[in-house]
Structure 1
Amino acid sequence: MADHDDHDDESNEGRTTAPQSDYSMREVAIGTVVALIGLGVTFGIPLLVA
């Protein structure tokens, strides 16, 4: 079988996906708000309907 290595060895500095990347406080705040809204939808609506 042939080795299908379609990825370039060049690094692209414009995009990183490592979980160790630094996050700004703005990004942390947005993530917290999104999580709280998700929890509110997940648990709040069923509690209101019940």
Structure 2
Amino acid sequence: MADDHDDRPAYDPSDPTPPEREPPYRQTAPQTAFTNTQVTVGFLVSLIGLAVIFGLPLVLA
């Protein structure tokens, strides 16, 4: 992590002159691919949730 800060140019907020070079792009965690099993489980959980949210009130009405 310390190397990330060493790569950035010095910046003084009181000095309106921008840094000599552009700061590096922000790096975030890479997105991992979902497996078909994970997609299927997520879809089924969504369907069950929708059935409970909309089906239960219809059954009780």
TM-score between both structures, scaled by the size of structure 1: 0.60
Q: Highest CA radius of gyration, 1 or 2?
A: 2
* Residue 51 of structure 2 corresponds to residue 33 of structure 1: no
Comparing both chains, which one has the higher relative contact order based on Cα–Cα distances under 8 Å and sequence gaps of 6 or more? Answer: 2
CA RMSD of aligned residues (A): 2.0
* Residue 55 of structure 2 corresponds to residue 44 of structure 1: yes
Question: Structure 2: any 5+ residue segments left out of the alignment?
Answer: 3-28
Runs (4 or more) in structure 1 with deviation over 2 Å come to none
Between Structure 1 and Structure 2, how many residues are aligned? 35
SS at match of 2:34: coil
Question: Structure 1: any 5+ residue segments left out of the alignment?
Answer: 1-8, 11-16
**What letter is aligned with 1:35?**
S
